[in-house]
């Protein structure tokens, strides 16, 4: 469900409710876990105090004292809420982390594509190391490395944006949005794009994600924040889920295509391909 801005919204919502809380009991739904060892591992958390919450890309983690961290991926439909223990349980509640103050953190995930993993700090760091720079925290010195990797790739730029090992936190909504802002054709290959154009794309990614964070995320289908409220960013999108609606720049109707099984939305006039542009067969970088 969530991309970087949505995960960060949730992290900010729940962190003040969790820091310094003592975990009194862990409850898990066995259906959610593949092995019994994973379930029993969570018992180690009982009695531990929560130290802080962190995030990189779409990966969220809870650090406790000692060497235990919980790594959380929300997948397509995962949600996190801090509620009173006595509050009625929603269907598909898979994890409850109860605290001494009579509240509990609940993880709800109908499709079960999310994950909830107890790990050491070392293991957490190696998971973070698999991810590329995050637009909320990257430095300009990261750009050269990111752009170099993109220009080595034969894949479409849309698919590259979804690759978490290159840029962390961009998902299907903000990939389309960033390409629109940077005026890049989604099927253009990474190796066909100039450094100048890719710099614009990185800036555009940062811009659309910052806007989304300011509006507490995009509620397209099921996403809600840590309080169970929908985010306001849907009305600030340019192209995502706007098939056959006029482009804000040129009024051309927005197109929808499928790339690697996932929908991409773009303006075929504002985001023209290299092939369409150079009819003589020469391949100037755009």
Beta strands in 201-243 (DSSP E): none
Using CB under 7 A, list all residues that contact DNA: 1-3, 6, 57-59, 73, 75-77, 91-92, 110-113, 152-156, 159, 162, 164, 171-173, 217-223, 260-263
Q: Shortest gap between Cβ of 284 and DNA (angstroms)?
A: 21
Closer Cβ to DNA, 38 or 49, answer by number: 38
CA 221: distance to chain centroid? 15
Closest to DNA by CB, 261 vs 281, is 261
58 catalytic residue (yes or no): yes
For residue 59, the minimal CB distance to DNA (Å) is 7
Active-site position among 256, 262, 268, 269 = 262
**Those residues with Cβ within 8 angstroms of residue 56's Cβ, 6 or more apart along the chain or in another chain:** 128, 131, 134, 137, 168, 169
Would you say 103 or 242 has its CB closer to DNA?
Answer: 242
Residue (206 or 263) nearer to DNA, CB: 263
The SS3 assignment for 203 reads: helix
Which of 2, 133, 135, 186 does the annotation list as catalytic? 2
**Total Cβ atoms within 10 A of residue 76:** 17
Residue of 58, 106, 155, 158 with catalytic role: 58
Going by C-alpha positions, the residue among 269, 263, 256, 262 that lies closest to residue 183 is 269
CB of 217 to DNA, least distance (A): 7
48/256 with CB nearer DNA: 256
The count of other CB atoms within 10 Å of the CB of residue 262 is 14
- Which CB, 229 or 284, lies closer to DNA? 229
Q: Does residue 207 have an active-site annotation?
A: no
Q: At what angle do helices 195-214 and 140-151 cross, to 10 degrees?
A: 120
Minimum distance of DNA from residue 239's CB (angstroms) = 12
Contact 12, 19 (CB under 8 A): no
Kindly report the CA angle at 75 between 134 and 140, in degrees rounded to 5? Answer: 5
Could you confirm whether 268 is annotated as catalytic?
A: no
Tokens of 284: 């100037």
> What secondary structure, in 3-state letters, does 83-143 show?
EECCCCCCCCEEEEEEECCCEEEEEECCCCCCEEEEEEHHHHHHHHHCCCCCCCCCCHHHH
Minimal distance, residue 237 CB to DNA, in Å: 11
CB of 104 to DNA, least distance (A): 21
Q: How far apart are CA 133 and CA 4, in angstroms?
A: 12
| CB neighbour class for 126 (10 Å; exposed up to 12, middle 13-18, buried from 19) | exposed
List residues with catalytic annotation. 2-3, 58, 262
């Amino acid at each position: 469900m969530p991309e970087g801005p949505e995960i960060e919204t949730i992290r900010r919502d729940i962190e003040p409710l969790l820091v310094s809380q003592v975990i009194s009991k862990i409850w898990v739904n066995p259906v959610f876990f593949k092995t019994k060892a994973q379930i029993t591992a969570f018992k180690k958390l009982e009695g531990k105090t929560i130290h802080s919450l962190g995030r990189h890309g779409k990966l969220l983690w809870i650090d406790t004292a000692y060497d235990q961290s919980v790594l959380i991926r929300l997948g397509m439909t995962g949600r996190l809420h801090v509620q009173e223990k006595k509050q009625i349980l929603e269907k598909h509640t898979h994890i409850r982390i109860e605290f001494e103050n009579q509240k509990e953190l609940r993880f709800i995930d109908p499709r079960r594509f999310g994950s909830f993993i107890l790990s050491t700090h070392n293991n957490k760091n190696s998971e973070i190391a698999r991810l590329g720079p995050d637009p909320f925290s990257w430095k300009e010195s990261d750009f050269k490395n990111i752009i170099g990797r993109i220009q080595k790739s034969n894949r479409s730029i849309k698919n590259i944006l979804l690759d978490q090992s290159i840029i962390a936190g961009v998902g299907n909504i903000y990939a389309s949005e960033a390409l629109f802002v940077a005026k890049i054709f989604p099927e253009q290959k990474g190796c066909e794009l100039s450094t100048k154009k890719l710099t614009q794309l990185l800036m555009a990614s940062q811009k659309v994600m910052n806007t989304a964070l300011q509006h507490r995320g995009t509620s397209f289908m099921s996403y809600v924040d840590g309080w169970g409220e929908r985010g306001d960013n849907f009305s600030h999108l340019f192209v995502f889920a706007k098939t056959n609606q006029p482009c804000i720049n040129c009024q051309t109707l927005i197109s929808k295509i499928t790339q690697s099984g996932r929908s991409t939305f773009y303006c075929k006039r504002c985001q023209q391909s290299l092939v369409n542009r150079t009819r003589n067969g020469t391949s100037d970088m755009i």
